[in-house]
Each structure stands twice: as structure tokens, then as C-alpha cells.
Amino acid sequence: MSIPWLHPRDPESAFPPVDTALRHPDGLLAAGGDLSVTRLLRAYRSGIFPWYETGQPILWWSPDPRTVLLPRAVRIRRSLRKRLRNRPWRVTFDRAFDRTMAACAGPRPYADGTWITPEMLTAYQRLHEAGHAHSVEVWNEEERLIGGLYGVAIGRVFFGESMFSHESDASKVALVHLACHLAAWRYPLIDCQLSSPHVLSLGAVPVTRIEFVTFLGRYCTLEGHPSPWEVDPALDVASWDPSVVGGHGSADGSQT
């Protein structure tokens, strides 16, 4: 196994072509470099993301296939719809990015460690301060943060990174609010990176890497929603039907 090493003091250096990524492990493309805002934005625009654990060098990935979720195809099951209509929780955008990311880095019953290292926490906080990374927060009646997600937005593509729940369905509530707003803002795609039973149950599907990269070349160049993001009180998320496009924009990002 041989992969290129990136120079840590040259954030402008180019990544290798994504079609040179390894098949085993799937998508491993390069190692080294740094987590500067410049390099991270360059990576995401190219269909590449960092993923590594404490004690490892920075590892860069571009798997094939890629798992994506169309906002208009998010799956809202009956129990989740009922929770949305009962409105037991408050949802915000970009109000507690650091706390949301820290919660995503917390211990999980199905994993021994976390890939959200202290260096990653610092790097994505910088992305957030620069207006490129966003969070969705779910608060209970006692104003305790019980769920949420965060990711990176470039142009009209949202690259999901991680989500967490401290109460049942809290992360799903965050995702539905995000998808509803992205549809209204004419964002046609959420990148989920890797497949899992959880994201597949929410409506995510695989696409080939070449399809994904072609998509990025088209939509990352468009103007996105201005930062910081805020919840739009005019959007009725509880009654939103993703299958009905209406004024929420079509699958290719055009207004309908």
C-alpha cells in the first residue's frame, strides 16, 4: 500500500486525483498535510475529506461509491412526523457550533474512540468562524442541548460530518429541519460520505465517485445561503412534504 504524503506547510499543494484512491481500504487517497481552512475547502470541493484517529497522521479519503441524501428525498416516518408536529423541542442554527461538535465527539456505545480529534475540533471551529461550517441544535424544554449535527457548506452543497442524540429522534429532528431549509435555499444535495444503516434509513443513496465529483464541480461554484444560518420561521417544517417540491427548489437547484 502506497499513498502520497502532503507537505504540512503548503496548504496550496494539490491533492492527488481522486481516481488514484485505494480500493482497500476504500477511498484512502493521501496522508499528512494540515487542517487549515484553505486545505479543507480545497479538499471538500474535490470530493475529499479528512478522517483519522488520535495517534494517526491526517488521512484523506474519497470513497467510491459515495453516500448522498437529496433534501427532497429525506424519509420522515410516522413517529418522527408526530414528534415534529408536537413541537416538544426548539431547533436553532449556528447557535452552539462548538458544543454541537464536542457532543458529536463524545463516547458512543458502538465505538471505542472518536475521529473528531482535538485538532479537528479546532480546525472546524475555524471553518465555522470563517462562515463555511454550520451546526443544527436541538434543545429540550429545559434548554438543554439534546441533539444536533454539523457540517461544511460550499456553494449549494452541504457536506454532513456528524450528528448526535441524547434523546430519541433528536438528531433526526435536526436533519429534517436542515433538509427543509436546504430545499428552500435550493441546495440539491447533502453529502453523507459513507454508507450506514442509519443514513440509509433516512433516505440516503449511493452514487459513483465520478458522479459525485461532477456534481461538486457544478454546485460548489454557485452562491450559497449567507452565513450565519438562522431558522426561517416562515417554513412549516412539521408539515413539510419532501416529495412535493413546490417553492422549495428542484433537484438540480433551480427554482420552481
Q: What single string gives the DSSP state of each residue in 24-69?
A: TTTTEEEEE----HHHHHHHHHTT-EE---TTSPPEEE--SSEEEE
pTM above 0.95, yes or no: no
pLDDT of residue 252: 43
User: Each residue of 50-64: pLDDT tens digit?
Assistant: 999 999 999 999 999
* Average pLDDT score over the chain: 92
**CATH number for domain 67-247, candidates 3.40.50.1370, 3.20.80.10, 3.40.50.11310, 3.40.630.70:** 3.40.630.70
pLDDT of residue 2: 87
Grade residue 247 by pLDDT with cuts at 50, 70 and 90.
Answer: very low
CA dihedral of residues 12, 62, 172, 251 (deg, nearest 10): 90
Secondary structure of 234-254 in the HEC alphabet?
CCCHHHCCCCCCHHHCCCCCC
Residue 87, pLDDT > 90, answer no
As a CATH number, domain 5-63 is 3.30.70.3550
Burial class of residue 166 (count of CB atoms within 10 Å of its CB; 0-12, 13-18, 19+): middle
pLDDT of residue 245: 55
Residue 256, pLDDT > 80, answer no
pLDDT of residue 13: 84
Mean pLDDT, range 177-199, rounded to an integer: 96
Grade residue 113 by pLDDT with cuts at 50, 70 and 90.
Answer: low
Grade residue 253 by pLDDT with cuts at 50, 70 and 90.
Answer: very low
Domain-wise residue ranges, the chain: 5-63, 67-247
